[in-house]
Structure 1
Amino acid sequence: MKTHQQIEGLEDRIRKGTISDEEILREVHALLFAFDDADYQEKIRNAHDWANKYFSPSQSDPFGGRDMVRSHLLQELGLAGEEAKELEGG
């Protein structure tokens, strides 16, 4: 499975709520070094930061709550998926 497909699968499971908080963090972290590309890595780091905020009400509240933070997380993953697809030559 290509990296952009992994990211799309992760996004889908987050939207459906079929993945635990720990799994999201673990999977996002595992994606960090899939490519030696600064833009891709920045998007994954941003997604990881949003994921950390998503799991803590005290951290997500200043950003509009869990739903808003989840939207930012999914947006960053989507951007990382697009970048991964380009890097994979797709």
Structure 2
Amino acid sequence: TELVRAITLHPQQPLAVLDMVPAEEKAQIIYGFGDVGVSDVAAEAGALFHTFVEEQAQLVPDHVAVVYEEEQLTYRKLNERANQLARR
């Protein structure tokens, strides 16, 4: 992975300064996903992350929100799991 390579090349560097995501993936995260419907009102109000997830669950419930290895969660499923965790 990118992090392992960075650690190998720069073993004395603190982890905080090493790139953990390949440049191509970082560009996709920052620039590639585009507008997914978060309202300007929520963004301007400084809403917390869970508020954005809840709003996305209403606006685009079947869009993919999270990808990790082979697993994907839609905004609906992410919101459901977050609410389950909050209830515990």
The question of a shared fold, defined as TM-score above 0.5 by the shorter chain, is answered with no
Structure with a larger share of its residues in helix: 1
| TM bucket normalised to smaller | under 0.3
TM-score with structure 2 length normalisation? 0.27
Structure with a larger share of its residues in strand: 2
